Amino acid sequence: MNNNILERVNFLKDEINKHNYLYYVEDNPSISDYDYDMMFKELQKLEAEHPELKTPDSPTQRVGSVSEKFFPHVHKYRLYSLDNTYNYEDLTIWYNKITEEYGKDVELVCELKIDGLAIALTYEQGLFTMGVTRGDGVTGENITPNLKTIKAIPLKLFEDINVEVRGEIYMPKTSFEKLNEENLEKGEKLFANPRNAAAGSIRQLDSTITAKRDLSIFVYSSIFENMPSAPKTHYDGLMYLKKLGFKVNPNIRLCKNVQEAIAYCQEWENKRFELNYATDGVVIKVNNLAIQEELGFTARAPKWATAFKFPPEEAITTVENIEYGVGKTGAITPVAILTPVLLAGSTVARASLHNFDEIRRLDLRIGDKVVIKKAAEIIPKVIKVVEREPNSRRRRFTPPTECPTCHSPLQSPEGEVNLYCLNPKCPSLIKAKIEFWVSKDAMDIDKIGPAIIEQLYDKNLISSAVDLYRLTIDDLMKLDLVKEKSASNMYNSIQKSKNNPLKRLLTALIIRNVGKETSEILANEYGTIERLKEATVEELAAVNGIGEKIAKEIYAFFHDEDNLKMLEDLKTLGVEPPPVEMPKSDTFKGKTFVLTGTLPSMTREEASEIIKAHGGKTASSVSKNTSFVLAGENAGSKLDKAKNLGVIILTEEEFLGMIK
């Protein structure tokens, strides 16, 4: 297999996982939905062509991410993501696959795709008992007190039933504008878009802050428990939710076929701008719930639903200059400086160019008029150059040969498109590494930001991330405008990070090709830094999700004298993560279980914990890669599929016998 393919897959995994974290955890997305989806589709395609590259840490095997600020809660019913389509041809292909099996005209329900925060609401005997964010689809955050402040969420239903309702929390556009105006007056952070504002508001640790924000909800699905008279179609289910007291979007439409669904999408492509809430597409679902159940799910999304995404907004402006930034790995990142232009409700003056290959591909030159776009009001990128006049004398762009900060010669490793500054003393590189160290992805030192790091470095108080742990309160009070209380808060935030989980420290170390997901794999496999230092290349490569190339990078990092000195200094300063609890045994190592039906003496969640405690993993659907199906009463279609594929089927008694 071509090494370039492996490198591309690993790059896509790290990029997608990074943007998952920024979008779902940080509420601070840095790319458009469209660009994310294109990366995701490319990764799916490469994994389909090279199945051996599909690993458990791949974002195609999961839905999203979960914050550590709230109490985690395992969803009783998993919340899936949605596959996306961007043209009517793909939408028709999706529909035709369904009609081939279920007849000519399968009814569809079209709903505007609300750009907000997905949540699950639990009602017992008609009373609201719990509200949880989607998180990664399996585990979310319990934010019940905050949700109770939203008046559109009923605390008591009109009927005493048990139901779980899914919906989207959003902030009206007018409320978003008002909030940003107030924040501007107070000198506080401005939110990027209504979705960002809604997510930031609903996930406040202090629910009184949430209560002051104008949030609302549209509900879009439900799961009724022990209710023989439950609706038989999705549309009837929405109407019933409305009857129970929920807010259902008034623009839903029942369509007889895909042609009517396409007409709905065309109608709302421009009409959506008249609404007082953000929407970036249409969700299209099979109406018949029995057909939904038979169609089932892929690893991450239902087969009976898809999201048609509206084309991203675009604008034309001029490139006034190209500037360069130095990232945490030393990578030089080009950014286009633009003549300010209004795009998707905000003024844009900078746009991402990603790397120098992209500039060459665009044949971009300073002074060119360019098309920029951003979907869902996220950071823009340059799409293309508007046709240049034939006699233009603008010079072709030439990549820099030296670092914009330290002027060291730039290097381009074989097989990579990026240019790197590899001078370990480069001020921009040092500060970028420290900024990443304190970030949410890494050690999560929330009181130390870029401006503080800039001062600490310029005043010679730190020259590396290790030096943060040498700082005293008196040191921090030497910074401009920092008083004793602020200095104390910073100091305490640094001290608190000393006991962070091992996966955070491994992420913060910036080991080449090792991102957040791979760090978690290493932490769970080895448990401590000391065990990891002793691992051979062969042992590392044998870990599921690592591979030989990354194994060599990890081994090299933990056998570099400077790195070992840094780790020793960190340990001396008290930075020592608690050991990761290792599996009780490796009985199920390398084995994948699918759980179905009702087990006699335990819940499926309890069985799943037992599997993980003995080194195994669980999946939501049966495939040829499934090792065992643990089946209880009323097992359904998963059991049938397991029989057809020849997968071993276990009773609870047989399952427990395996670990005794």
Q: Strands 127-133, 117-124: parallel, antiparallel or unpaired by DSSP?
A: antiparallel
Of residues 24, 115, 132, 37, the one with CA closest to residue 78: 132
547: left (phi over 0), alpha (psi -120 to 50) or beta: left
Residues 399 and 418: their CA atoms lie apart, in Å, by 10
Other Cβ atoms less than 10 A from the Cβ of 311: the count is: 12
Q: Cβ(264)–Cβ(586) under 8 Å?
A: no
DSSP H helices, 50-166, are 88-102, 144-147
Task: Provide the token pair at 181.
Answer: 């105006």
Task: Answer whether 420's CB lies under 8 Å from 330's CB.
Answer: yes
| Cα–Cα distance for residue pair 163/126, rounded to 1 Å | 8
> CB-hemisphere CA count at 13 Å for 540?
23
What is the DSSP code string of 264-319? HHHHHHHHGGGSSS-EEEEEEEESBHHHHHHH-B-SSSBTTEEEEEPPPEEEEEEE
Task: Report the relative pairing of strands 72-74 and 127-133 from DSSP bridges.
Answer: unpaired
C-alpha pair distances (Å), 364 with each of 25, 349, 350, 646, 652: 34, 17, 15, 56, 63
Tokens, residue 555: 């081994």
**Going by C-beta distance under 8 Å and a sequence separation of 6 or more, which residues neighbour residue 81?**
63, 64, 137, 300, 301
Enter the tokens of residue 294.
Answer: 């038979």
Side chain identity, residue 152 = A
Of 116, 205, 135, residue with least CA distance to 446: 205
Q: Checking DSSP bridges between strand 592-596 and strand 346-352, what pairing results, if any?
A: unpaired
Name which of 534, 532, 537 is nearest 548 in CA terms: 537
The radius of gyration of the chain from alpha carbons, rounded to an integer in Å, stands at 26
Reference 32, options 287, 307, 312; nearest CA is: 312
| CA–CA gap between residue 603 and residue 428 (Å, rounded) | 52
Active-site residue list: 113
